[in-house]
Amino acid sequence: MDTDVSVYLIFLSISGLISLALFRYLTIEWKLLSVIIWLTISVELISHLPSRQHEVYSIAYNLYTPITFGLYIWIYHSLFQSRSLKLVTSLMFLLAVAAGLFAPILTNSFQKFPSLSIAFCSLLVCSCSLLYYFQMLQSRVKESLSSLPTFWFNTAVLLYWGVFFYRHGLYQTIVSESPGSTIWLDDLHLWLSLIYYAVLAYVVVLGSGRFSPSNKIHV
Amino acid sequence: MKFDTELVMLLGVLLIGGIVIFIVAFVLKYRRSQIEFVHERELLQRKFNEDVLQARIEISEQTLKRVSMEIHDNVCQSLTVARIQMNLLSPENLEEMKRSGSELIGRSLNDLRNIAHSMNGNFLNENGFKEAIERELKLVCMAGDMQYHSTWKSDMSNHFKEIEVILFRCVQEALNNCLKHSKATKILFSYRELNDILVLEVSDNGIGISNESITGLGLKNMRDRLELLKGEFILEKLEPTGTKMVLKVPKNEMIKKEFL
């Protein structure tokens, strides 16, 4: 296993442990986020096992995609305050689960990495993120951004899944599907993942309210 | 069909750059609206403090006005009669005048004692909202020869003093209106909490409120003050006669977020 992959897995495991330790203090949205982190740990461990088979890892990802993206959209559903945005996220939830489940069934490609489903679901999640920024601007109470777990979560989601969409939706699909042609993008993605899960751990810590900095407004 | 790699990479740079620029722009915009929000809150806070101060002044003025009225109407009258009796003093009516004079002076002393008590401007702070309202009802009804009945369906405890001052001043103004304009014989006061709302009602069986009074300064001040507390002021004409004033204010938690 490469050193950077090991570092990534260690970071991911630390995030998982933090969310496990703080789980009982979390509100529903951050509990869902913890579940996502644990699911990611499981699927990443499967995909980086030395004896792993390509098929097993692809099937794991095919199952991981609808569940994880469903959970992401569920988080946004609970974060949105307006009824119309809640309705939109409910529809997105159905779309994400349907795309994650039916795309491999229809194309009979359970043995393939679900690039297209992930790219599509990334777009949905990025749309939720943009809508959430809109809600934050509309909100009357303006707390300090640095102490807002929702801001960090939203920013991390937009950046990470934006890059994910580019990697799987654009680059890999329209430029090259052959292994090795996207090494630079894979490296970028690996380091981005490392940062992403570190930020999610920070979100969980802030969301637990136990170690969060003061919520007073700093101007 | 495969596209030009460099073009797709450029697209990637644009996409990621776009996201980063968007986030930076969001942070800047959020920060600007945060500053505006703080400024707005400070203005609101200042207005709130000014209003509380104004309400305190009005409470004191109202107290002084009542004191002056009491001195003029009761103490002065009693002492004048006592003085006349002193002038009419003769050996024949000495005993009777002495008894009557002593009675008058005793009554004056009693009135002065009551006035001294009512001059305590800090009564609200020292005794709490409920006691202050009860005392106000008693004094107003004594002055106007009216009866009153008060209902408290919840304790006015753990509320902020500033809010109590404003509410007390509103109730005082409402009672004062009853005394001055209503010609009522009975006043009903009630206090209750409905979900997250405090509801105070003052009603009387008087002649009802005229259209001129509705646009009066006193009622306007009450309305403005309650709006500041995110509350509501409702004025109703009762059938067959009488007026009802309803003051609704969100409970502490909500007010606290805005002002304190």
End-to-end CA distance of chain A: 47
**B199 DSSP β-pair partners:** B192, B248
- How many CB pairs (< 8 A) connect A and B? 61
Q: Are B11 and A217 within 8 A, CB to CB?
A: no
**Burial class, A50, CB count within 10 angstroms (exposed 0-12 / middle 13-18 / buried 19+):** exposed
Question: How do strand B186-194 and strand B197-204 relate by DSSP bridges?
Answer: antiparallel
User: Is B37–A141 a contact, with Cβ atoms under 8 angstroms apart?
Assistant: yes
Q: Does A159 touch chain B (CB under 8 A)?
A: yes
**Could B8 and A158 be called an inter-chain contact, meaning their C-beta atoms sit closer than 8 Å?**
no
- Tokens encoding B223: 């309305």
Lowest-pLDDT range, A151-165, B105-119, B179-193, B225-239? B105-119
Give the minimum alpha-carbon distance from A213 to chain B in angstroms, rounded to a whole number.
Answer: 18
What was the pLDDT predicted at A215?
Answer: 41
Mind telling me how many Å the CA of A163 is from chain B's nearest CA? 7
Q: Which of A144, A170, A176 sits opposite B11 (nearest CB)?
A: A170
What span, in angstroms and rounded, lies between the C-alpha atoms of A136 and B26? 10
Contact B8 A163 (CB under 8 A): no
**Chain B partners within 8 Å of A142 (Cβ):** 30, 33-34, 37-38
Omega prior to B240 cis, within 30 of 0: yes
Q: What is the pLDDT of residues A134-153, one digit of tens each?
A: 999 888 777 788 889 999 99
Predicted confidence (pLDDT) per residue in B59-82, tens digit: 878 777 777 877 887 788 878 888
Contact B30 A137 (CB under 8 A): yes
Q: Which uninterrupted H or E stretch holds A61?
A: helix A54-79
Compute φ and ψ for A119, nearest 5 degrees.
Answer: -60, -45
Percent of chain B with pLDDT over 70: 90
Asked whether the beta carbons of residue A137 and residue B19 sit closer than 8 angstroms, the reply is no
Tens-place pLDDT, residues A192-207: 888 999 999 999 999 8
Separation in Å, CA of A112 to nearest CA in chain B: 20
* Rg of chain B (C-alpha set): 30
pLDDT of A218 higher than 50: no
Q: Is A141 on the interface with B (CB under 8 A)?
A: yes
Interface test with A, best of B1, B7, B21, B23 (most A CBs within 10 A): B23
For A77, phi then psi, to 5°, come to -55, -40
Structural tokens at position B156: 């006015």
Task: Choose from B2, B5, B7, B8 for mutation: most chain A CBs within 10 A.
Answer: B8
Test the B interface: residue of A134, A137, A139, A142 with most B CBs within 10 Å: A142
CA dist A199 and A155 (Å) reads 10
Predicted local confidence at residue B159, as pLDDT: 66
Relative to beta strand B147-152, strand B186-194 is: parallel
Give the pLDDT confidence of B110-132 residue by residue, as tens digits. 878 877 776 666 777 778 888 88
pLDDT higher at A182 or A56: A56
Rounded-to-5 percentages of helix, strand, coil across chain A: 80, 0, 20
Collapsing DSSP states into helix, strand and coil, what is residue B32? helix
Residue A41 has pLDDT above 80, yes or no: yes
Share of chain B above pLDDT 90, in %: 12
Which residues of chain A does B15 touch, with a Cβ-Cβ cutoff of 8 Å? 162, 165-166, 170
Q: What's the pLDDT tens digit per position in A86-108? A: 999 999 999 988 888 887 777 76
ipTM surpassing 0.95: no
3-state secondary structure of B152: strand
A103, A114 contact by CB (below 8 A): yes
CA-CA distance, B53 to B33, in Å (whole number)? 30
Of B16, B26, B31, the CB nearest to A133: B26
Q: What is the pLDDT of residue B93?
A: 78
What pLDDT was estimated at residue B10? Answer: 81
Do the chains contact at A142 and B37, CB–CB below 8 Å?
yes
Closest CA to B214 of B245, B185, B248: B245
* Min Cα separation B249/chain A (Å): 20
Nearest CB neighbour to B29, from listed A130, A137, A158: A137
To the nearest whole Å, the CA of A219 is away from the closest chain B CA by 6
Interchain contact, B38 vs A166, CB within 8 Å: no
Q: Is the model more confident about B72 or about A35? A: A35
Whether the predicted pLDDT of A182 surpasses 90: no
